[in-house]
Structure 1
Amino acid sequence: MTGMLGHPVAENPIDLMFDAVYAHYDLPWQFWKSDIASEADLAHAVRALVPLGYRGVGITVPYKVAVIPMLDAIDDDVKAIGAANYVTVEQGRLIGHNNDGKGVVKAIEKVAPLRGQRVVMLGAGGAGRAMAAELAWAGAEQLTLITRRQEQGEEVAAMVTRVSGVPTTWQPWQGKVVLPEGTTLLMNATHLGCAPELEPVPLDWNSLAPGTVVVDVITNPRITPFLATARERGCPIVDGVEMLVQLAIQIFEQWTGITPDEAVFQRAVAEALGE
C-alpha cells in the first residue's frame, strides 16, 4: 500500500503512473489517492498508515507543513525547508522527506542551466518553499517571491536566504503581475491553470522578456494556458508533468529499493494523461 494525502487530488495522474510502474516491475503494490478534508482528518489518516500496512505516502497541498508534527522523524531537507512532500514507513516509524525541489531542478536543467538565473516564483506554499530553496542551492543568482500573503512570502524569502545565502525578496501580488526587469526564469507555483477550471495566471505578458524560461508546476493539463502563452511568445517551457516524473522516480526508489528506468515512468504518465 502506497498513496497520496491531500486536497484536492482528483486531477493528479500520480496513482495511474505509479500503478503502471509497479506492474512493469511485477510488484504487488498499489497506489491510493485520498482526498483529506481537514487537518483533523489528516491526523487520523497519518495515524492509520502503519496499521493499514502502508509503505509510504506522498503529501500534497495543503498539508506539506501541517503534516510535520504528526511524523516520528524528518530528514535534513524537511528541517531546512519546513515542508514534507512524502513519507516513508520504516519499522513502524513515519519519516518525512522533501524532494519537491529536486524534481524541479532536474526538470528545469533538461532545458536550461540554473546557475546564474534570476528567478521569479508566483506562490510560495508547501511545494513552492521547497522549490525556492532547491533553485537557490542549484545556483540561481537571485529569487523574487510574489505572493498574496505577505507573512508567508516574507517567511519563505527569509528561509531561502538563510539556508542558501542567495538574496531572496518578497513582492506583493496585486492585480496583474509585472515582472522585475532582468527576470530570466519565471515559475508558476500556484494552482492557477489546473484542470478543470484552467484559470489564467494574471500576468502582464509584456513584462516577460524574450527567451525567459517559463515553468509551471501544474500536472493536468501538461500544457497549461500559462505555458501555452509562453510558448507562443517563443519562451522555452518546463511542464509540471516532467517535474512529477523526476520526483516520482526518486520516491519510487526510496520506497521499493529499485532504481527504475526513466522511460518506464515517462510512458506510464503519458498513458495516464491519454497522450
Structure 2
Amino acid sequence: MITGKTKIIGLFGNPVGHSLSPAMHNAAFNYEKMDYVYVPFNVKPEYLKEATQGAFALNIRGYNVTIPHKTRIIDYLPEVDPTAALIGAVNTVKIQDGVSKGYNTDGIGAIKAIEEITPISNKKVIILGAGGASRAVSFQLLSSYEVELLILNRTPEKAFELKSDLESNLKTTLSTGGFELLLEEIESADILINTTPRGMHPHEDDEPFLKARDIPSHVVVNDLVYNPLETGLIKEATKAGATTISGLKMLLYQGVEAFKIWTGQEPPVDIMEKALYDFL
C-alpha cells in the first residue's frame, strides 16, 4: 500500500514505456516488504534540468537514468561518482542529505554477467560498438582486469576516439578497428560483447554480425540486447556450440547495484531475475 511514508524511486528516460526496471525493482521491494515504489517518468530532453530539480523537491530518494539522458544529466548533478565521471555517463542517482549524486552501474552489470560464466583476467575480449554502453563496459574491464581488449566499430574513427580517452584516463593500452576485422580476430578471442542495438526489437531480422560457421565454440558470446531474449547473434552462437549470455543479465546486475546504492541493502537477486523473465 502506498502512503505518505512510501519512498519513491524513479526512472528518467524518453521513452520509458518499454522499460523492464519497474517490474524488477517493485518485485524486489514487495518481496523484502520494503515501503518503496519504483515509478517511470517520461522526461523530455528539454525538461531534464527541471526534472532533476523536481525529484529533489519532491523528496524522491533516487532514480535510474536511461536514453537519452545518461550524458547530459551530469550537468545538473552537484556530485558524480569518479567512475561515472570517467565514463561520462550516469544511469543511477541517489538523493541523500540534500545532495543528488550520480553513479554508473552499467559496466559493473555487464562484468558480473560475464563473471558468472567465465573468468575474465588475461583473456582476449572483443567489444562491438563504441557508444555509451561500450564505454561503460570497456572502462570496467580495463580498470578491473588485465585483458587484451579490441574495440570494433562501424566507424573506426569513433572507436579510436574511445581508445584515446580510455588510454589517457586509465594509463592502459587497447586496440581498435572496423567491423571488417571481426572475422579474422574472432578466431583468437575468448569473449565477444555486442554493445550495439543490432537485432533489437523491432529489428529482430537484422543480419547478425557473425554466422554460426564463423564463431569458434570456445568463445563466450554476450549480447547486451535483451529484447528479444535470443537475438540473431545469440542464436548463431548457440548453433556454433558457443556459450552465450543474454543481455537480460546485464540489466539484472546493473539493477542489483542500483538497489544497493538506493537502499544500502542486498536485493533478492533471484526474485528480480524471475520478474524480468516473467515480464518478457
Same fold, TM-score > 0.5, yes or no = yes
Distance of aligned partners of 1:219 and 1:33 in 2 relative to their CA distance in 1, 3 Å threshold: farther
Question: CA 1:27 to 1:179, structure 2 compared with 1: closer, same or farther past 3 Å?
Answer: farther
Equivalent residue number for residue 192 of structure 2: 186
- Matched with 2:94 is 88
Who is 2:5 aligned against?
A: none
Q: Deviations over 1:15-74 (max 9, x none)?
A: 111111111122232222234443x23223222211232211111223222211111111
Distance 1:120 1:52, change over 3 A: same
Q: Which residue of the partner structure matches residue 4 of structure 2?
A: none
Give 1:7's match in structure 2, choosing from 11, 14, 18: 14
**For 2:206 and 2:120, how far apart are their aligned partners in 1?**
26
Partner Cα distance (1:170, 1:37) in 2? 34
Over 3 Å counting, the alpha-carbon distance change for 1:72 and 1:269 in structure 2 is same
Change in Cα spacing, 1:69 to 1:104, as seen in structure 2 (3 Å) is same
Q: 1:179: Cα distance to partner?
A: 4.9
Which amino acid in the other structure matches residue 234 of structure 2?
A: L
Give the alignment partner of residue 260 of structure 2, picking from 239, 244, 253. 253
Q: What SS is found at the alignment partner of 1:215?
A: strand
Change (3 A) 1:53 1:179: farther
Please state how far the C-alpha of 1:196 moved relative to its aligned partner.
2.9
The aligned residue for residue 124 of structure 1 is 130
Equivalent residue for 2:237? Answer: 230
What letter corresponds to residue 203 of structure 2 in structure 1? E
What is the one-letter code of the residue matched to 1:29? Answer: Y
Residue 13 (structure 2) pairs with residue 33 (structure 1): no
CA contact (8 A) 2:159 2:176 kept: yes
| AA partner of residue 164 (structure 2) | A
1:173-226 per-position Cα deviation (integer Å, ceiling 9, x unaligned): 46x953525222111112222223325354243443221110011222222222
**8 A contact 1:184–1:212 mirrored in 2:** yes
Residue-pair matches, total: 271
1:112 corresponds to: 118
CA distance change for structure 1 residues 149 and 136 in 2, over 3 Å: closer, same or farther? same
Written as runs of structure 1 = structure 2, the 5 A alignment for 1:10-89 is 10-38=17-45, 40-89=46-95
Select which of 220, 230, 244 maps to 2:251: 244
Cα distance change of structure 1 residues 37 and 269 upon mapping to structure 2, 3 Å threshold: same
State the identity %: 27
Larger radius of gyration: 2
SS at match of 2:100: strand
Q: CA shift at 1:90, angstroms?
A: 1.6
Helix, strand or coil: the match of 1:67?
helix
User: Are the aligned partners of 1:61 and 1:126 in contact in 2 as well (CA < 8 Å)?
Assistant: no
- Alignment gaps of 5+ in structure 1: none
Q: Contact between 1:6 and 1:34, CA under 8 Å: does it hold in 2?
A: yes
5+ residue gaps, structure 2, are 1-7
Q: Distance in 2 between matches of 1:248 and 1:133?
A: 18
Taking the aligned partners of 1:243 and 1:210, their CA distance within structure 2 comes to 22
User: What is the TM-score with the length of structure 2 in the denominator?
Assistant: 0.87
Q: CA deviation at 1:158?
A: 1.9
- Structure-1 separation of matches of 2:137 and 2:125: 11
